Amino acid sequence: MKNGLAISVSDLTKRFGDFTAVDAITFDVKKGEIFGFLGANGAGKTTAMRMLCGLSLPTSGKAIVAGFDLYKESEKIKKSIGYMSQKFSLYEDLTIRENNRFYGGIYGLTDRQIKDKTSFMLEHLKLESQADTLVKALPLGWKQKLSFSVSMIHDPQIVFLDEPTGGVDPVTRREFWTMIYEAAHRGTTVFVTTHYMDEAEYCDRVSIMVDGKIEAMDKPAELSKQFNAKGMAEVFVQLARKAKRSDN
């Protein structure tokens, strides 16, 4: 990443039969940037994100993620990124410590590293007393903060967050975003999707996908100006209302 780019994508396309899920999207994400990846249900966000994580091969186009080529080096990409989603994160029937050991092991950390990481994380999250508690017994807000930390146990260059804050209370949601800010401040690139439009405004830049294409991309404040809108919610609705394909 000599050029300071964490992600560099040009004309990235994914077709399923005659359906073009992702239609020649082009964008860059800078190192340490918080990049909001927005779009209506069915716009193609998940497909694009799966490609960027090395889980699905593009039909055409180019992409460099964490300095690696998407076609040739997807295994290296997987080692260099973290992923967290509300749907899948931690193992509920393992304790906090066990989850750490499991994920640390998967990413090839040494026992020493896992031990250090775990104690640092527990201290940082003030969860020392809960280290041997089953994850399923934890409140949702803790689980979310914890799974964000676990997704970064291997110090990834980029962390992908797929609707990370669904369902949590407004105070916890803000604590979570403070953690995102901190991670970005330390140089981690954050790539995040959300349906909360106020959260879109916490991002350095956002892109909005409509029908497989990126229809707008800029700083939130610039987009509001450009679309003569009060905030990202209005910008989003103006753009997404134009969508021809529904989420089918």
Partner 1 sequence: MSTAVKVEHVFKTFQSGKTQIEALKDISFDVSKGELFGLIGPDGAGKTTLFRILTTLMIANKGNAWVDGLEVMGDYKEIRKRVGYMPGRFSLYQDLTVEENLSFFATLFNTSLEENYDLVKDIYVQIEPFKTRRAGALSGGMKQKLALSCALIHSPNVLFLDEPTTGVDAVSRQEFWELLRKLQLQGITIVVSTPYMDEASLCDRVALMQDGKIMDIDSPKGITGKFKKPLWAMSSADMYKLMHDLRADERIDTCYPFGQHHHITFKDDHQEVNPIENFLIDKGHKGLSIEKIEPTIEDCFMELMNR
Q: Least distance to partner 1 from the beta carbon of 218, Å?
A: 13
In 92-246, the DSSP E strands lie at: 158-162, 189-193, 205-210, 213-218
Q: Beta-strand (E) ranges in the chain? A: 5-16, 19-30, 34-39, 60-65, 68-69, 81-85, 158-162, 189-193, 205-210, 213-218
Q: Which two tokens stand for residue 21?
A: 């899920």
Cα 12 to Cα 53: distance, rounded to the nearest angstrom: 13
Q: What is the pattern of x (binds partner 1, CB under 8 A) and - over residues 212-241?
A: --------xx--x------xxx--xx--xx
For the record, the structure tokens of 153 come out as 């146990």
Count of alpha carbons within 13 angstroms of residue 229, beta-carbon side: 18
Contact between 148 and partner 1 by CB under 8 A: the answer reads no
Q: Of these, 107, 172, 215, 229, which contacts partner 1 (CB under 8 A)?
A: 172
Binding status of residue 244 toward partner 1 by CB under 8 A: no
Residue 41 binds to partner 1 (criterion: CB under 8 A) = yes
Q: CA-to-CA distance for 5 and 68, rounded, in angstroms?
A: 11
Q: 106 or 237, CB closer to partner 1?
A: 237
Residues in contact with partner 1, counted by CB under 8 A, come to a total of 43
Q: Which of 28, 73, 198, 215 binds partner 1 (CB under 8 A)?
A: 198
Contact call for residues 6 and 58 (beta carbons, < 8 A): no
Stretch that binds partner 1, among 16-24, 50-58, 111-119, 192-200 (CB under 8 A): 192-200
Shortest Cβ distance from residue 237 to partner 1 (Å)? 6
Q: Does 195 bind partner 1 (CB under 8 A)?
A: yes
Q: For partner 1, which is the closer residue by CB, 67 or 141?
A: 141
Query: Considering only 10-18, 48-56, 58-66, 166-174, which stretch makes contact with partner 1 by CB under 8 A?
Result: 166-174
Among 10, 140, 225, 226, contact with partner 1 (rule: CB under 8 A): 140
| C-alpha 203: how far from chain center | 12
124, 126, 185, 225: residue in contact with partner 1 (rule CB under 8 A): 185
How far is it, in rounded angstroms, from Cα 248 to Cα 8? 29
Binding residue for partner 1, selected from 3, 60, 181, 187, defined by CB under 8 A: 181
Rounded to the nearest 5 percent, the helix, strand and coil shares of the chain are 40, 25, 35
Contact 33/188 with Cβ under 8 angstroms? no
Nearer to partner 1, 153 or 208 (CB): 208
Under the rule (CB under 8 A), what is the footprint of partner 1?
Answer: 39-42, 137, 139-141, 163, 166-172, 174, 177-178, 181, 185, 195-202, 220-221, 224, 231-233, 236-237, 240-241, 243, 246-248
